[in-house]
């Protein structure tokens, strides 16, 4: 045998489930895309064709629908915890670790006039938020003493932000390969992915906390509506966004933000006899480039937490 099995897991991905909650005429909708990964004593399934300790991935898929029906939850984080606890509690001999990722499509109520002409949230029609989406993630493990421990995470994928001033990048290291000009006043765009860990001992209010986090991220990036907030680099903005999340949401113990610097480059109009500048003297015609993009990433923790 040329190989030994170093590690393995099995699970089910892209399990899509929609739950409708009807309270009289007012309905709510939760729509998830779930991935489950199970670790257990399954080496023999890979090395000796022994499936006796395998929970079929089909069973895992069915379990998502059964749990959607039989349990109560109002966001991805809660459902991720429910699923992880279920597999660890139901199969003590077959599962020692369960990781669950729940991506959530956010359906916001349509706002429209009702039959009396008053504008209000619609009872049962929804508009999908995006392009970003939120997710909840759990990592459940069985301790040697048999106790189940759960770590809970939340996050956002593709939060797309842009501002047209109050951003600079200067005084960077320069050498023979440098062509980047100093920019005192530039555009700033990102399509960020963020993940944060909840301190489960603080009994987080998952849906309330994550709504606050998204608000804080947007507010920190943008600043006050009239004056904005000055950004000397994506790095500083990233750290300020993380600091604000930790300051505002006590149930978050740490957060990691991946913030691509999505460039908008001034278009060279000189060859068409035009000066690419408006009355401020700054360029105003740009072309957005998705690639390459800068990669700025950081993890922020509370000062007291051990590194
Ligand atoms: O905010 C920035 N950080 C960088 O590290 C960087 N590098 C670069 O070319 N432009 C920028 N902008």
Query: Which pLDDT tens digits describe the chain residue by residue (307 residues)?
Result: 799 999 999 999 999 999 999 999 999 999 999 999 999 999 999 999 999 999 999 999 999 999 999 999 999 999 999 999 999 999 999 999 999 999 999 999 999 999 999 999 999 999 999 999 999 999 999 999 999 999 999 999 999 999 999 999 999 999 999 999 999 999 999 999 999 999 999 999 999 999 999 999 999 999 999 999 999 999 999 999 999 999 999 999 999 999 999 999 999 999 999 999 999 999 999 999 989 999 999 999 999 755 5
Number of other residues whose CB lies within 10 A of the CB of residue 145: 5
- Domain ranges for the chain, please list them: 10-111+122-146, 156-173+181-301
> Using an 8 Å Cβ cutoff, are 183 and 168 in contact?
yes
Q: Which CATH class is domain 156-173+181-301?
A: alpha beta
Is 263 noted as a catalytic residue in this protein? yes
C-beta of 169 in contact with ligand 1 (< 6 A): yes
Is 12 noted as a catalytic residue in this protein? yes
Catalytic residue from among 10, 57, 122, 165: 57
In terms of CATH, what superfamily is 10-111+122-146? Answer: Urate Oxidase; (3.10.270.10)
* Token pair 């440098």 in the structure block, residue: 178
ipTM of the prediction greater than 0.85, yes or no: yes
Is 69 noted as a catalytic residue in this protein? no
Per CATH, 10-111+122-146 and 156-173+181-301 having the same topology is answered yes
100 known ligand binder: no
């Amino acid at each position: 045998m040329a190989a030994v099995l170093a590690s393995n897991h099995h699970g089910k991905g892209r399990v899509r489930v929609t739950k409708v909650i009807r309270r009289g005429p007012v309905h709510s909708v939760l729509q998830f895309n779930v991935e489950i990964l199970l670790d257990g004593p399954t080496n023999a399934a890979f090395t000796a064709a022994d499936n006796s300790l395998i929970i079929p991935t089909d069973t895992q898929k069915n379990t998502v629908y059964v749990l959607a029906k039989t349990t109560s939850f109002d966001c991805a984080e809660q459902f991720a915890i429910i699923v992880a606890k279920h597999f660890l509690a139901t199969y003590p001999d077959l599962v020692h670790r369960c990781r669950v990722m729940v991506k959530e499509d956010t359906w916001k109520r349509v706002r429209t006039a009702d039959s009396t002409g008053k504008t209000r949230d619609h009872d049962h029609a929804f508009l999908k938020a995006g392009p970003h989406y939120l997710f909840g993630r759990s990592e459940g493990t069985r301790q040697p003493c048999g106790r189940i421990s759960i770590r809970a995470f939340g996050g956002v994928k593709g939060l797309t932000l842009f501002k047209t001033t109050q951003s600079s990048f200067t005084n960077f290291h320069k050498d023979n390969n440098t062509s980047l000009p100093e920019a005192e006043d530039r555009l700033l765009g990102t399509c960020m992915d963020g993940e944060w860990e909840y301190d489960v001992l603080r009994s987080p209010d998952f849906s309330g906390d994550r709504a606050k986090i998204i608000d804080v991220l947007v507010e920190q990036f943008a600043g006050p509506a009239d004056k904005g907030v000055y950004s000397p680099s994506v790095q500083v903005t990233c750290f300020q966004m993380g600091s604000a999340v930790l300051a505002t949401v006590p149930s978050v113990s740490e957060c990691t933000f991946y913030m691509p610097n999505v460039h908008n480059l001034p278009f060279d109009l000189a060859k068409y006899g035009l000066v690419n500048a408006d009355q401020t003297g700054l360029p105003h015609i740009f072309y957005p480039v998705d690639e390459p993009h800068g990669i700025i990433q950081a993890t922020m923790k509370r000062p007291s937490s051990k590194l």
